């Protein structure tokens, strides 16, 4: 459909991604993901998805980008930094994952992706493409690895040599052809810091996380009571968990973001444990209506606080 210089297209995509504030941008060929499909199938068979049934859905779409965008030729993998100026979890209060300090990343990053799609349309005419930010059946870490943006570490997160892992992944799947990037090597070496630090032993073996034992799963995805075996292991986390990232040596290269919309909301920054314990539903709804915390819901947050409080 689009016959043009693939090198020029790749250069333009990377240029506009940088201008939009993305920390990195890599390009991969849109094709069936066979090795990744086998790995995903094994992971699901082990039940590591827990109650996250949605991960079992749309298997074919997860492994074949042309099922999401007919005629897809290229997957553009992007990273957007969210590493904060200050690690609020060091305060003597309950802890919230760094990605959730400010406005919901789906909103922030999606805006930027639509801007990129508009720029591509302006330059190349009508293209068939879709933008994704952790909201559709896309194997984003695998695409990021294929596109040379890093490697999947032992904690199953994407690691990048120049900035660690505190970034959001996003994708454009488009029917434009572009030069692709080569994958990079694995630089975890013999390090097992993430595995050693996980209080719930969710990293069952290198590169494999049992999602059903992860503190992030307990505090966000799980809608029922947190299993009794997690008691005493929450380490004050009430929404998400950053332990396996905080201990990763590659995160010494993380630099603070400059995204206004990710600035911490004042309760996250200032609340004492007592204030969290006494938060009303009205305050929760008003304060967190554009925050990732909305996902756990008021009752879920109280459940998480209660679990952490009992330690």
Count CB-CB contacts under 10 A for residue 282: 9
Distance CA 218, CA 214 (A): 6
Write the DSSP symbol of residue 220: I
Measured N-to-C along each axis, helices 105-124 and 6-19 cross at an angle, to the nearest 10 degrees, of 140
Count CB-CB contacts under 10 A for residue 36: 17
Half-sphere exposure of 7 (CA within 13 A, CB side): 0
Residue of 64, 134, 186, 236 with catalytic role? 134
Pairing of strands 158-159, 151-152: antiparallel
Short-list 147, 144, 148, CA closest to 156: 144
Distance CA 41, CA 44 (A): 5
Q: CB–CB of 20/76 below 8 Å?
A: no
Residue 82 buriedness (CB in 10 A; 0-12 / 13-18 / 19+): buried
Q: Is 134 a catalytic residue?
A: yes
As annotated, the active-site residues are 134
């Amino acid at each position: 459909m689009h016959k043009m210089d693939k090198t020029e297209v790749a250069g333009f995509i990377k240029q506009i991604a940088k201008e939009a504030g993305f920390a990195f941008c890599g390009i991969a060929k849109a094709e069936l993901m066979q090795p990744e499909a086998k790995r995903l199938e094994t992971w699901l068979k082990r039940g590591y998805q827990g109650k996250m049934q949605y991960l079992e859905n749309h298997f074919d779409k997860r492994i074949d980008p042309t099922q999401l965008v007919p005629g897809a030729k290229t997957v553009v993998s992007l990273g957007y930094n969210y590493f904060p100026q200050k690690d609020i979890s060091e305060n003597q209060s309950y802890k919230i994952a760094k990605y959730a300090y400010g406005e919901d990343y789906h909103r922030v990053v999606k805006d930027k992706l639509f801007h990129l799609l508009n720029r591509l349309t302006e330059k190349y005419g009508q293209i068939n493409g879709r933008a994704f930010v952790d909201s559709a059946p896309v194997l984003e870490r695998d695409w990021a690895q294929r596109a040379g943006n890093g490697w999947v570490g032992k904690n199953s997160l994407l690691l990048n040599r120049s900035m660690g892992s505190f970034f959001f992944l996003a994708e454009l799947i488009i029917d434009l052809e572009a030069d692709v990037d080569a994958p990079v090597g694995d630089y975890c070496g013999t390090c097992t810091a993430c595995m050693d630090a996980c209080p719930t032993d969710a990293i069952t073996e290198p590169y494999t996380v049992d999602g059903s034992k992860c503190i992030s799963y307990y505090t966000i995805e799980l809608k029922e009571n947190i299993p009794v075996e997690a008691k005493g292991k929450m380490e004050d986390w009430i929404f998400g968990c950053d332990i396996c990232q905080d201990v990763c040596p590659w995160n010494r290269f993380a630099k603070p973001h400059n995204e206004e919309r990710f600035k911490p909301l004042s309760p996250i920054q200032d609340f004492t444990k007592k204030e969290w314990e006494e938060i009303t539903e009205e305050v929760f709804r008003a304060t967190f209506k554009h925050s990732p915390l909305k996902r756990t819901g008021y009752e879920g947050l109280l459940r998480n606080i209660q679990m952490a409080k009992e330690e």
